[in-house]
Amino acid sequence: MADEPVKKILLIDDSSQVNDHMRRMVRSFKREQWELEWADTYAEGLKKLLTGKYGVCLLDYRLDEGRDGLQLIREANAAECTTPVIFLTADPDIDEAALSAGAMDFLVKAGFTATDLERSIRYARRLSAMMNQLRQQATRDKLTGLINRREFDRLLDEEWQRSTRFKHGFSLVIIDIDFFKKVNDTYGHQAGDAVLQHVSSLLAGQVRSIDRIARYGGEEFAVVMVETDRAHARDTIDRLRALLADTPCLIPEKNLTIPVTMSAGVATAPEDAETLQQLIETADAALYTAKKSGRNRVVTAKARASKDPWGGTPPAPAAAAGPAT
């Protein structure tokens, strides 16, 4: 059997002496083999941490340019980093703040041994795994594995706030599987579940990693397309519509091949809405138009005639778009 790959620890600390000391500790571990990598600045440490390639991060409290590890943890958490962090500091009174910020454990620099560090790493990893599992259960749809409606609403609100603050547009897409009730009535609910999994897998495999896709409810899905204008959103979703139409759902154990199509409505901020609720309603209205006009098509909302919420002249209204336009 091949040896297990060496796991990596990221140390973020501005002291080369601490780096040397931690390397000696890591080399003396008894139970597992680890390799230590070092980042001596806030920026470099955060960049490495966000790669996700480390099993655990050892983070110093005091970093360069007056910044500290608490800030770094919060920034990493905001970027959805799940690497467990163990806080290192000479100040034992910072423990509560470190744990509140998201650290999995806390060690006082002058008071721990290699055995303590190895034990802390095991503890932090197990605690992090349990928390990630709970987070998955709370934020993911059990059937499809996509984020659920509650989590999507939270992320959509965040994107609206970010869009408003930084003047970056984005698009919201609401998707509905065509004639899904007929699938359930004809083939049964297990086949319906298979179709939902088929569609979710196809969509999730095609959208960008920075976008957010969710099971919105029943046979509906929703996508937040970050920094994407109306035309690009329409073209991307129409490509996915065509791909789905050409990719039937196969259920070998039942010897079934079920053709599947979808309809979609696209609304774009800020052109189509002054509020987040209005954006959702506009995308939903565009979806309703797509379904009423024949299904298996993508329809974009028309830009408002009112003043753009970011100021300036609003764009000209956009025509609805289907697969043939």
Phi-psi map region of 11: left, alpha, beta (phi>0 left; psi -120 to 50 alpha): beta
Q: Do residues 169 and 228 make contact, with C-beta atoms less than 8 angstroms apart?
A: yes
Return d(Cα 23, Cα 122) in angstroms, integer: 17
Q: Which residue has the tokens 């309703």?
A: 288
Nearest to 146 by CA among 103, 90, 207, 92: 207
Q: Where are the alpha helices (DSSP H) in the chain?
A: 16-27, 42-49, 69-78, 95-101, 114-139, 149-166, 180-187, 189-206, 230-245, 276-292
Candidates 219, 220, 227, 274; catalytic one = 219
- Torsional sign, CA 158, 286, 250, 202: negative
Return d(Cα 220, Cα 212) in angstroms, integer: 14
Annotation marks residue 219 as catalytic: yes
Nearest to 21 by CA among 103, 95, 109, 90: 109
Q: Do residues 207 and 244 make contact, with C-beta atoms less than 8 angstroms apart?
A: no
In this structure, what token pair is assigned to residue 243?
Answer: 């791909």
Q: Which residues are catalytic?
A: 219
